[in-house]
Amino acid sequence: MAIRNLRYEDDEILKKRSREIEVIDEKIKELAQDMMDTMHKWDGVGLAGPQVGVLKRIIVIDLYEENTQYTLINPIIIKEKGTQEVSEGCLSFPNKYATVKRPKEVVVEALDIEGKKVKIKAKDLLAQALCHEIDHLNGIVFTDKMEPGTLEIVKPEENGKK
């Protein structure tokens, strides 16, 4: 498949609401695979359609453990429980991190890549990733939700030197 170009923080597409996917055809399946490949290339945990310039309600997540890879179409959060304060980053905001309050547990309904309805009960990192990516579909980025004064910019190491 193909590695897609990422959209970055000043790109207005990141502030737009994505449209529901009506039909899961070969183009959507190809988009999903491209998104997974793009996310893996940049060592991300999740990626949403708008981050690759596509205003469609599709997200991919991989926690890099067995059975923790998800492709979700039209995901919605139907239940939230608890709160966790987490350090968060985003492939569209390279080298930037901030503290964000997220639900500790969520239940998400969506369609899988075959169009089958799925319900995911998630907590901790998976709950955080689901909330972060679903926010992207609604034109919300993590810096919109960060705790004031917590944004950090981490300079990448040059040639492996600190």
Helix (H, G, I), strand (E, B) or coil at 100: strand
109 catalytic per annotation: no
Residue with tokens 């304060």: 85
Residue with tokens 């919300």: 140
CB 136 within 8 A of CB 14: yes
Separation of CA 134 from chain center: 7
Residue with tokens 């985003």: 90
Considering the candidates 9, 20, 105, 133, report the single residue annotated as catalytic. Answer: 133
Pairing mode, strands 46-48 and 58-62 = antiparallel
CB 43 within 8 A of CB 3: no
How far is residue 59's CA from residue 31's CA, in Å, rounded to a whole number? 10
Q: Which residues are catalytically annotated? A: 133
